[in-house]
Amino acid sequence: MNNKSIRRVTMIAAISVAVIAACTSGESGVAYARSAVAYARSADTTVGQGTTAVKSVPSKAAIRFVLAPEGSAARYRVREQLMGHDFPNDAVGETKSLTGAIAFDASGKVIRDESKFTLDAGTFVSDQNRRDGYVRGRLLESDDYPTITFVPTEVRGVKPPVPKSGSAQIQLLGDLTVHGVTRPTVWNGNVEFNNSGLTGTASTSFTFHDIQMDQPRVPVLLSVADTIKLEINFNLVRQ
C-alpha cells in the first residue's frame, strides 16, 4: 500500500470513529469526535513526513558505463623461474568473473560513490592447476577475501563529452583492495570509443610487500619476482 492510500485509510477510519462518537450523548462525545479528527490530521502529516524521509537519493551521474556481460577479463602476471627450466617465464592467471560500473558528473569528474569494479578472487585460472590452488587458497586466501575491488576516483586523458569514435591513452586513478589491503593505484591504458560505449585495456603494478603478502616459496620454484602486474580488458557500455 502506498502512502497516499495509507493517508486515505487513516483519515476514513478516524472520521468514522468521530461520527460514532458524535452520536454519543453529552459533551464527552463531542470532545471525543474533535480528538479523532485531530488525530486523523496528525496521522496524515506524519505519513507525509515519512514519505520525505524514505525518498531515495537521485543519481548525480550525467553518464554511466557498466561492464558488458561479455568481452571483459582480468589477469595477474608474475615473473617466475621454475625448477628444471633454463629461462624465466610469466605466470599468468585470468578470470572473466568481474562486474562493475563507472559514473561521471556533468563536468566529467568520476562519482566515487557510484563507481566500483569487483572480481571474484577464487576464479583465476592459469596453465597449472597446482599454481591455481596455491594462488586461490594460500596466496589470496579467497575463502576469507573472496573479492578484489577497484574504486576509480579520476580518469585522465578523456574530457566530456565522451566521443563515440576514435581512441585515447588514459590514466585511471583509484583505490585497489587485494587480500583486505587497500592502496591507491594508477592504471595506464588505451581506449577505443564506439556508439555503444568503449573498449580497452589498462594495467598497474605493485609488490607483494605493498599488499602485505609474502612472496611465494614452493619447491618447484627457484624464484618469483616481487612485482605483480594486474591487467584488465574491459568492454563498457553506456547505461
Measured at the alpha carbon of residue 97, what is the angle toward residues 93 and 98, in degrees to the nearest 5?
A: 105
Cβ contact 190:200 at 8 Å: yes
Residue with the bigger pLDDT between 135 and 149: it is 149
**Are 225 and 130 in a shared domain?**
yes
Residue 22: its H or E element: helix 3-22
- Residue 136 DSSP symbol: I
Exposure string of 82-100, with b = 16+ CB inside 10 Å and e = fewer, is beeeeeeeebbbebbebeb
Distance between CA atoms of residues 172 and 148, nearest Å: 17
Cβ contact 112:93 at 8 Å: no
Tens-digit pLDDT profile for residues 25-62: 444 444 444 444 444 444 444 444 444 444 556 788 89
User: Is the preceding omega at residue 161 within 30 degrees of 0, hence cis?
Assistant: yes
| Distance in Å from the first CA to the final CA of the chain | 31
Distance between CA atoms of residues 129 and 123, nearest Å: 12
Q: What are phi and psi of 43, to 5 degrees?
A: -65, -40
Cβ contact 193:158 at 8 Å: no
Domain span holding position 84: 63-238
**Are 77 and 27 in a shared domain?**
no
Distance between CA atoms of residues 184 and 53, nearest Å: 35
**Are 161 and 232 in a shared domain?**
yes
Say how many domains are in the chain: 2
58 in any annotated domain: no
Distance between CA atoms of residues 103 and 112, nearest Å: 8
Tens-digit pLDDT profile for residues 155-213: 999 988 899 999 999 999 999 999 999 999 999 999 999 999 999 999 999 998 888 88
**Are 117 and 219 in a shared domain?**
yes
* Whole-prediction pTM: 0.72
| Mean of per-residue pLDDT scores for the chain | 80
Domain end residue (candidates: 53, 71, 87): 53
- The number of helix segments (H) and strand segments (E) in the chain equals 3, 10
**Are 47 and 74 in a shared domain?**
no
**Are 41 and 75 in a shared domain?**
no
Q: How far is CA 231 from the centre of its chain?
A: 18
